[in-house]
Structure 1
C-alpha cells in the first residue's frame, strides 16, 4: 500500500531539501505524482522514497545529473548496473590520482629536490611516424594514450618495426596557454616507406641540440624535473626560441604497469655552442 505526502514530509522521508526537490521537479529528474492546480502544491508517493534515496546517494558520489537520469530511465537492470560500475571506476581512478597528488605534495613540503643531472645531446634529424593535434593540458594523458595506440597499430599493420625511442614534442603554447600543438612520434628505420592511415604523417624531425634530464617515476612530480632542468638551462645555456620541448619515453605504460618505474627523458632545446 502506498500513500501520498506533501513536499515537506517527503523531504523528511528522503533527507532531500524542499529546494532540492523543487529543482529535481523542474529538470524532470524526480517529479511529484500530483501538483494542485490552484496552489501548485506538490505531493509525492511513498513509492518514490527509494528512488529519491538512490538519487541522493548518486549525487553524494558526484555523478552528473544526466547520468543519474540515464540510470533511473534504464529499463534493463544490466544497463543500470553498467552505468553505475562505469561511474565507480571513474571515481576510483580519481581517488588514485588524488592519492598520488597528496604523496607528491608531502614530498614537495618535506623532501628536498634531488640534485638534477644534466647531459647534453646533439640529436641528428630523423624520420618518424607522427600524429599532431592541438591538445588541452588537462587532457594530455588520455590524448597520449590514444595517439600512441594509433601510431603503433599503424606500424604493426604495415609490418614496420620502430626505429628508435618514441616521444612527443610540446609547443610553447601548450605551456603558456594551457593548450597547444603536441606531436606524438615513433622513429622509423632509415628508408622506410608506406602509406600511413589518415591523420598520421611521415615527418622529418630536425636536428637539434638539447640539455637533457631524466625524470623517474609518475608524472605528479614532473614539474620538479621541468623546473630544475629549465633553471639549469637559464643559468648555463641559451634557449632556442620557439622550439618545442621534446620528451622521450624510455620506460612508459607500454612497458610497465607501475608508474613508479616510468622513465622520461626531457630534452630542452638550446642553441649550438658550449654551455656557459
Structure 2
C-alpha cells in the first residue's frame, strides 16, 4: 500500500504550492487520495508524485489546465502523443512570433528614423472580384487568409487571370474600434458572376499617398506611421478607408522577407510632387 502524505509534505515533494494543489483539486486535475470529512484535510499518496511532476512540466510549457486534463485522461498512448504534439507545435509557432517581434523591435531601435519615400498616385475605378465582411481586428489575419484563398481558387476554377495585384480596403473603424468592414479584392478584366462569398465589386477611383513596405506585415505599422505623419504635415488627409496593395505577397512566395506591400492613404491632391 503506498504511503500517505499530508498536503504540506506532498507540496514539498512535488514543488507545487499548497495553493496550487488546492486549485488543482477544485478543477479536478489532481484530486487527493483522501479528504477527511470532518477536517477537510487532504492526503495524497506517493503514487501520485509522478502525475504531479508531469503536470508541473506541462505547466512550465504553458499548457492550459484543460489540455493537461485531456492528456492525463487520454484513452491510449497514440491520443496522448497527439495532444502533446499539438501543444508543441503551438509553442513553436509562438516562439517564431516572439523571435519575429524581437527582430522587428531591434530594427526599430537601430533605425528609428528610417523613412520610406512617399509618392502620390491616382488610381482609376477598377473592376474586381472581392470578398467583403465586417470583422474584428483579432480575426483579420485568419479572415484575410481565407478570403484570399477563396478568391484565387474561384478565379482559377473559372480560368480568369488577375489583371493586377491583390489588394485590401480597410475601414477606419477596424483600427479605431477594433471592428469594421474589410474587403480583399483581385482586379479582373471583366465582371465576374457572384459565387459564394466572391462577388464583383468596383473599387472606386482615388487620390492616394503611397508608401512601400518591404518584408513581413508584422511591422507594417511603420509604413502606416510614415504615411500618417506625411499626410498630417501636408494637410492632405481625406476621410476614407486605407488601401493595401500586395505587390509580392504570400500568394507569390513563402519568404516574408521578399514581400512588398503598398500602403495607401486617401488624400486631396494639390498636384504637388511628394
TM-score band by shorter chain is over 0.9
Tell me how far apart the structure 2 counterparts of residues 232 and 79 of structure 1 sit (CA, whole Å).
56
For residues 68 and 133 of structure 2, the distance between their equivalents in structure 1, rounded to whole angstroms, comes to 33
Q: State the distance in 2 between where 1:275 and 1:63 align.
A: 57
- Matching of residue 254 in structure 1 with residue 251 in structure 2: yes
| Aligned position for 2:80 | 80
CA RMSD of aligned residues (A): 1.8
- Equivalent pair of 1:113/1:224 in contact (CA under 8 Å): no
The equivalent of 1:264 in structure 2 is 261
Task: Tell me which stretches of 4 or more aligned residues in structure 1 moved more than 6 Å.
Answer: none
SS at match of 2:220: helix
In structure 2, the partner of 1:34 is 34
Select 2:233's aligned residue among 203, 213, 235.
Answer: 235
Classify the secondary structure of the residue corresponding to 1:248. Answer: strand
Distance 2:151 2:42 in 1: 58
Cα displacement (A) at 1:83: 1.6
Structure 2: segments with no counterpart, 5+ residues: none
Distance 1:39 1:45 in 2: 18
Deviation at 1:118, TM superposition (A): 1.7
Aligned to 2:149: 149
Aligned to 2:188: 188
Map residues 75-154 of structure 1 onto 2, 5 A cutoff. Answer: 75-154=75-154
Contact 1:4 1:44 in 2 (8 A): yes
1:221 to 214, 219, 222: 219
CA deviation vs aligned residue, 1:87-113 (integer Å, no higher than 9, x gap): 111111111111222222222222243
Shift of residue 154 of structure 1? 2.0
- Shift of the 133–64 alpha-carbon distance from structure 1 to 2, 3 Å rule, reads farther
- Counterpart in 2 of 1:167? 167
Contact kept, 8 Å, 1:165 with 1:249, in 2: the verdict is: yes
Which SS does the other structure have where 2:62 is aligned? coil
Structure 1 position 212 matched with structure 2 position 219: no
Distance in 2 separating the partners of 1:139 and 1:88: 23
- 1:245-269 C-alpha deviation (Å, 9 max, x unpaired): 1001111122222211111011111
SS of structure 2 residue aligned to 1:203: strand
Question: How far did residue 270 of structure 1 move?
Answer: 1.0
Cα separation, 1, equivalents of 2:45 and 2:253: 54
Residue pair 1:196, 1:202 contacting (<8 A) in 2 also: no
Q: SS in structure 2 opposite 1:84?
A: helix
> Per the alignment, do residues 122 and 47 of structure 1 end up closer, same or farther by CA in structure 2, a change over 3 Å counting?
same
Aligned-partner Cα distance in 2 for 1:220–1:200? 27
CA contact (8 A) 1:247 1:264 kept: yes
How many residue pairs are counted as aligned between the two chains?
273
TM-score, normalization: structure 1? 0.92
**1:272 CA drift (Å):** 4.5
In the TM superposition, residue 237 of structure 1 has moved relative to its aligned partner by 4.9
